[in-house]
Structure 1
Amino acid sequence: MDKFSRNERYLIINADDLGMCHSSNEAIFKLFEDGFISSSTLMTPCPWVKEVAKYYRSHPDIDIGVHLTFTSEWKYYKWGPVTKNKIVDSLITEEGYFPERSEDVELRANREDVREEIKNQIDLAVKLGISPSHLDNHMGSLYGLTFGNSFLDIIFEFCQRYNFPFRLPKILDEEMKQGLPEAAISNYEKMIDIADQNGIKLIDHLISYSFSLEDGEDYTSFKERVISILRNLKPGINELYIHPGLNTEELKAINPHWEKRYMEFKLYQDEKLWKVLQEEGIKLIRWKDLRG
């Protein structure tokens, strides 16, 4: 782990879906300004990406990666490839948008189209004036988690080229393995080895929770769940990825799970959460710190 002690607990709190809509942007900007998140990842195909570019110009020290996007999951709010110089038909529906489901990416995407779109999503971030800190993948659409048809090796080409760390936990716990086909697990383990051999920086543990309201869940029970997660962090580099949003008519129209996103926005400003980090001696780090 180089400069990181194997006995210490490190945490990256990454806000996904930057650029998706104005409500997401405003929530993430606020959390950045108050120091409550360590990084975020940008969806370059989405409509509000230029607002992020404007914000970044006045906050160049914030940690923003590229949230490689190959799905468009919302019913009435859609986006498609940033690639304009070539035809990438294998990545889109008949309407010209990305598909809603990750499994459709596995079934239909051509490897050269994926490579071209990854390149162009990174290039667009750079053209907008953003210096990306790392890569991850929206909805895990390129991981091969359904049928084992993974595009991680293509992502690794860009990680090596630009010295990008990547969201791929070295340790796949039993809960994460449940429901994955053998082909997906086998390929996953192979990719971990390839990343290690090529010096691509990865996290040790990836942490998440349900992104929709669970039965009987309210803010208090949600907060207690996250506090429990924090108190039980394992040694090494952990990433907790979140999806904060404001309580707006815009977000309500886009996302049926808007309440959970607003809960997340409130939670990561809650002093109790930050007191727990201090009590537990958990060190908050950024993706940039992994680059050396």
Structure 2
Amino acid sequence: MQSTAQRLGFGPQDRLLIVNADDFGLCHATNEGIKQLLSEGIVSSATIMMPCGWSRDAALWSARHRHLDIGVHLTFTSEWNAVKWGPVFRGGSTLSLVTDEGYFHKEVKSFERAADAEEVRQELVAQIDMALELGIDVTHADNHMGSLYGLQSGRHFLEAVFDVCAEYGLPFRLPRNLLLENGQVAPPELADQAKRMAALADHKGVVVLDYLLGLPFRSAQGDTYDTFKSQMISLLRGLHPGVSEIIIHPSLVNEELMAFHDAPLRRGMEMELFRDPDVRQTITEEGILPVRWRDLRALQRSGQ
């Protein structure tokens, strides 16, 4: 089986990289940070959480910058206590997707156990349709908090995701080869499961990644920017041949973000990582090649 990089016409040893800024639309501080990184060419792409209160600002800005790669960050959880959101679908019941308050579940496991598959499919379509209606040239889709992968209970919704992505001609964030946080290959049972899901995506004509990477969501005690940067440099040096996506969650850090977020300084560090000369030099030294989600979208829509 060819890697996605080889299907794009690259060699078997070429290492290609997408850097995606997640959580566009979360709040004003995050929007302003991601807009800066996209405008500077620091990140390859971003994905918008359409149910969030600042998604319209992110979407209208994206519609004015259609040369940039903007995807939909398919959202089915609402994890912070002070800021909440719920479904955008208005054509029928969404009761299995929400708590008694009417917001999405806080925990992934609660969502996985409660969600009705048809209601999930309707919400997937509604979130993508909203992005398109606001004028975004949607390049790809991915998933907030991994709620659709069945990671907590084993109950996944990927078949519906692949059906919807096939319908809209969108590649999806799924790694063909599963890695652990340290960049090493996952145990055989987990690795085989990832390959089965990738095979299902292939069958439905949806292009997926070769590898998916990111640093731990929360800092360990004693972490500094320098230790964080060192971890990212190690991750970059260890990239495998193929198309890899690295996920970051950048934001400006101000009173708005600090009012609800439990790790705001971490998001501020992620804002600076790929601006850092040492990180950029590592990418150059390692011969890592940039690739864009719209390249994967073109591959998918070509039917090759």
Classify the TM-score, shorter chain.
Answer: over 0.9
2:255 aligned partner: 249
1:173 aligned partner: 179
Whole-angstrom distance in 2 between the partners of 1:256 and 1:16: 17
The residue type equivalent to 2:110 in the other structure is: D
* Deviations 1:83-115, CA, capped at 9 Å, x for gaps: 112111000000000001111111000011001
Query: By how many angstroms is 1:148 displaced?
Result: 1.2
Whole-angstrom distance in 2 between the partners of 1:4 and 1:71: 37
1:114 aligned partner: 120
- The secondary structure found in structure 1 opposite 2:23 is strand
Asked if structure 2 preserves the Cα contact closer than 8 Å seen for 1:150 and 1:187, the reply is no
Whole-angstrom distance in 2 between the partners of 1:149 and 1:185: 17
Match of 2:81 among 75, 84, 97: 75
Spell out the pairing of 1:90-239 with structure 2 (5 A cutoff): 90-173=96-179, 177=186, 188-239=194-245
The reply on whether 1:55 has 2:61 as its aligned counterpart is yes
- The secondary structure found in structure 1 opposite 2:285 is helix
Whole-angstrom distance in 2 between the partners of 1:203 and 1:267: 22
Whole-angstrom distance in 2 between the partners of 1:32 and 1:250: 21
Whole-angstrom distance in 2 between the partners of 1:87 and 1:158: 19
* Deviations 1:172-206, CA, capped at 9 Å, x for gaps: 2366757x9x6x77654432211122331111111
Asked if structure 2 preserves the Cα contact closer than 8 Å seen for 1:148 and 1:187, the reply is no
Asked if structure 2 preserves the Cα contact closer than 8 Å seen for 1:9 and 1:234, the reply is yes
Aligned residues with identical type, % of pairs: 44
Asked if structure 1 preserves the Cα contact closer than 8 Å seen for 2:176 and 2:209, the reply is yes
Whole-angstrom distance in 1 between the partners of 2:21 and 2:129: 21
Asked if structure 2 preserves the Cα contact closer than 8 Å seen for 1:211 and 1:261, the reply is no
- The secondary structure found in structure 2 opposite 1:135 is strand
Change (3 A) 1:172 1:57: closer
Query: By how many angstroms is 1:6 displaced?
Result: 2.0
Change (3 A) 1:134 1:57: closer
Whole-angstrom distance in 2 between the partners of 1:164 and 1:201: 8
1:270 aligned partner: 276
Whole-angstrom distance in 1 between the partners of 2:119 and 2:257: 31
Whole-angstrom distance in 2 between the partners of 1:163 and 1:58: 22
TM-score of the superposition, structure 1-length normalised?
0.95
The residue type equivalent to 2:91 in the other structure is: N
Asked if structure 1 preserves the Cα contact closer than 8 Å seen for 2:177 and 2:195, the reply is no
Unaligned runs of 5+ in 2: 1-5, 299-304
The residue type equivalent to 1:142 in the other structure is: L
Whole-angstrom distance in 2 between the partners of 1:50 and 1:197: 34
Query: By how many angstroms is 1:152 displaced?
Result: 0.2
Asked if structure 1 preserves the Cα contact closer than 8 Å seen for 2:176 and 2:210, the reply is yes
The count of aligned residue pairs is 289
Unaligned runs of 5+ in 1: none
Change (3 A) 1:214 1:36: same
Change (3 A) 1:186 1:109: farther
- The secondary structure found in structure 1 opposite 2:243 is strand
Whole-angstrom distance in 1 between the partners of 2:57 and 2:216: 28
Change (3 A) 1:230 1:102: same
- The secondary structure found in structure 1 opposite 2:166 is helix
Provide the aligned C-alpha RMSD in A.
1.7
- The secondary structure found in structure 2 opposite 1:133 is strand
Whole-angstrom distance in 2 between the partners of 1:186 and 1:154: 20
Whole-angstrom distance in 1 between the partners of 2:63 and 2:104: 29
- The secondary structure found in structure 1 opposite 2:104 is coil
TM-score of the superposition, structure 2-length normalised?
0.91
Whole-angstrom distance in 2 between the partners of 1:291 and 1:46: 25
